[in-house]
Amino acid sequence: MTNDSSTFACGDLEQVLPAAWKGELGRQELDALEQHLASCGQCRALATGLEDAWMSVGLDDVMGPGADLRARVMRAADLAFHDRAGVTPAAAAAASPRHAAPSSSWWKLAAAAAAFVVVGVGIGRAWPDTQLQQEVSFLRDELRSVRHVMTLSLIQQASATERLQAVATAALIDRPDAQVRDALLEALAGDGNVNVRLAAIDALRGLAGDPRVSAQLIASARDRNSPMVQVAVIDALVERRDRSAAPALRAIADDSEAATAVRERARWAIGQLQASAI
Amino acid sequence: MFAPRDPALEDVRPDEALMRAVQGGDSRAFEGIYDRYHRPLFSFFVRLTGDRPGSEDLVQDVFVRVLRYRASYDPGRPFKAWIYQLARNAASDRRQSRAAHHGADALPDDVRDPGPTPLARVVGDERRALVERGLGALPDEAREAIVLSRVEGLSHREVGRILGCTEAAARVRVFRAVQQLRSAVERLQRPRG
């Protein structure tokens, strides 16, 4: 773009016109544009047509969101503010689903879980202590089993919300079995929704020392498709004090194509792992 | 943690100061950010996707991300560009998710071409409805450029920050997007033969 009308070229229009529409041009630049348009019929026709298209994009205020959005966001935020206390993004997202009616599979499984709790309370009131302990233990195992089924069922769903629910449920399982672990690893490796991948990272926190988890975390740390996931994975590796990740972290820190924030986080993580080794 | 909103206590601090307070765990500051940005973000998503209920979910997603990634925000950089980058990522993730599960062609027709809105039909504003349909038919990048610059009223410098390019490149993107819009509207106006 030039300020000199005598050197204003037709190709300058694509720089100057949008600035003119938004009042971003100085007096001199505007004069140069007007002089050029006065002398060039082709540019004048183009500018008129495009300005018409620009002006025709409605500025009407879109009617605001539903009244419940604020409450939903604040509920989710309330949980997210407690993230350090172990509340996952998945839990935050699942805490305020937009649709009140759950899917039928979720509903049936949740009902089954609730039924176990009710049965447990009934047994607790009626049976002697030793039998009670055995039954509580049995019910815990059953509940764990229900959570496993819920996770594996929901994680296959097409809806990201349901997959988030699945991962949030998995995070509640104290000892996820290999199937659940593999489902979480699969979600981390390739789910199309970043939130699901982030939630999977949180849900995998309970599997400290599992070499498959470490391997997938390290692989995901190198996946440049989502810097957010990379940063979260790097944090998880630091939390696990996983020193086997150091070479990968160094590679990320030196990767000129990685996002700056990711490279910085990798450098920070290397420092943290070194400090934890002392 | 979150008390009912009191308009009299509206926070007048700049966005960046509010976000710094959010980084320190100040939930009131977060509410201030929500109050400032939820409508522009909702409008951004509605214009971008033509899907109002989905846009509410996207707004919620953005604010969860604000908290999730609050530590990565640099208060020395403009907050507006940062939150719109989160918004673009949220929209992009949703597109990818839909494409992954249903195939790219399975995007609902009303997202690609939202058709005249009820309001436009009621007031008989055919031209506006046509432009909305043209906007809906544009590639995502072109639609984003127009929505940010024209509808959201952001400067080209701000648009450049959000799109990850220079101010000059942002102007060119807007120019070309408007060219595409014009062509799309002309196509829609042609009688179908």
**A11-15, A131-135, B149-153, B178-182: which has the minimum mean pLDDT?**
A131-135
- Tell me: do B66 and B97 sit in the same domain: yes
Say which CATH number the domain at B45 has.
Answer: 1.10.1740.10
DSSP B10-68: ---S-HHHHHHHHHTT-HHHHHHHHHHHHHHHHHHHHHHHS-HHHHHHHHHHHHHHHHH
For residue B96, pLDDT beyond 50: yes
Q: Which architecture, in CATH terms, is A208-278?
A: Alpha Horseshoe (1.25)
**pLDDT range class, residue B178, cuts 50, 70, 90:** very high
Task: Show which of residues 52-111 on chain B sit within 8 Å of chain A, judged by CB atoms.
Answer: 52-53, 55-57, 59-61, 63-65, 67-69, 72, 89, 93-94, 96-102
- Tell me: do B21 and B103 sit in the same domain: yes
Most confidently predicted of A70-74, A97-101, A142-146: A70-74
In a domain, B166, yes or no: yes
Contact A18 B178 (CB under 8 A): yes
**A66-75, B6-15, B85-94: which has the minimum mean pLDDT?**
B6-15
- Tell me: do B168 and B184 sit in the same domain: yes
- Examine the fold and report which residue of B43, B73, B107 is the final residue of a domain before the chain moves on: B107
Mean pLDDT of B1-6: 48
pLDDT tens, B114-124? 444 444 444 44
pLDDT tens, B5-64? 555 556 678 999 999 999 988 888 999 999 999 999 998 998 888 888 888 889 988 998
- Tell me: do B125 and B49 sit in the same domain: no
**A103-112, A193-202, B94-103: which has the minimum mean pLDDT?**
A103-112
Q: What is the pLDDT of residue A45?
A: 92
Contact B93 A66 (CB under 8 A): no
Q: What is the pLDDT of residue B120?
A: 43
Name the residue range of residue B101's domain: 11-107
Helix ranges (H only) for B103-189 are 109-112, 118-123, 126-137, 140-146, 156-163, 167-189
Chain A's closest residue to B90, CA to CA, is: A194
The Cα–Cα gap between A113 and A160 comes to 22
Yes or no: say if A154 and A162 are a contact pair by the CB < 8 Å rule: yes
Query: Residue A57 is nearest to which of B64, B99, B135, comparing CB atoms?
Result: B135
Contact B2 A78 (CB under 8 A): yes
- Tell me: do B35 and B102 sit in the same domain: yes
- Tell me: do B127 and B144 sit in the same domain: yes
User: Percent of chain B at pLDDT above 90?
Assistant: 41
**A1-10, A61-70, B45-54: which has the minimum mean pLDDT?**
A1-10
The more confidently predicted of residues B120 and A50 is A50
Q: Domain residue spans in chain A?
A: 5-54, 89-94+104-179, 208-278
Mutate to test the interface with A, among B97, B107, B158, B176 (most CBs of A within 10 A): B97
**A60-74, A198-212, B82-96, B121-135: which has the minimum mean pLDDT?**
B121-135
Structural domain total, chain B: 2
Yes or no: say if A163 and A152 are a contact pair by the CB < 8 Å rule: no
Across chain A, mean pLDDT equals 74
Q: What is the pLDDT of residue B160?
A: 94
- Examine the fold and report which residue of B107, B135, B156 is the final residue of a domain before the chain moves on: B107
DSSP chain A: --S-GGG--GGGHHHHHHHHHTT---HHHHHHHHHHHHH-HHHHHHHHHHHHHHHHS--PPPPPPPTTHHHHHHHHHHHHHTGGGT--HHHHHHHS-S-SSPPHHHHHHHHHHHHHHHHHHHHHHHS-HHHHHHHHHHHHHHHHHHHHHHHHHHTT-SSHHHHHHHHHHHHT-SS--HHHHHHHHHHHHH-S-HHHHHHHHHHGGG-TT-HHHHHHHHHHHT-TT-HHHHHHHHHHHHHTT-GGGHHHHHHHHT-TTS-HHHHHHHHHHHHHHHHHH-
pLDDT tens, A88-111? 444 445 444 444 334 444 445 555
- Tell me: do B32 and B66 sit in the same domain: yes
Say which CATH number the domain at B173 has.
Answer: 1.10.10.10
- Examine the fold and report which residue of B107, B122, B154 is the final residue of a domain before the chain moves on: B107
Q: In terms of Cα–Cα distance, which of B38, B9, B62 is closest to A76?
A: B62
Specify the amino acid at residue A88. T
Q: In terms of Cα–Cα distance, which of A222, A177, A228 is closest to A199?
A: A228
Contact B93 A193 (CB under 8 A): yes
Contact B156 A65 (CB under 8 A): no
Q: What is the pLDDT of residue B41?
A: 93
Query: Residue A89 is nearest to which of B27, B68, B149, comparing CB atoms?
Result: B68
The more confidently predicted of residues B164 and B107 is B164
Across chain B, mean pLDDT equals 81
- Tell me: do B98 and B39 sit in the same domain: yes
The reply to whether B27 touches chain A by the CB within 8 Å rule is yes
Chain A residues inside the 8 Å CB shell of B57: 98, 161
In a domain, B16, yes or no: yes
Q: What is the pLDDT of residue B37?
A: 93
Mean pLDDT of A143-157: 62
Query: Residue A69 is nearest to which of B59, B93, B150, comparing CB atoms?
Result: B59
Yes or no: say if A262 and A231 are a contact pair by the CB < 8 Å rule: yes
In a domain, B4, yes or no: no
For residue B82, pLDDT beyond 90: yes
Q: In terms of Cα–Cα distance, which of B120, B125, B127, B111 is closest to B188?
A: B127
pLDDT tens, A267-278? 988 988 888 766
Q: What is the pLDDT of residue A108?
A: 52
The Cα–Cα gap between A62 and A250 comes to 47
In a domain, B6, yes or no: no
Provide the ipTM. 0.71
pLDDT tens, A177-190? 777 788 888 888 87
- Tell me: do B18 and B99 sit in the same domain: yes
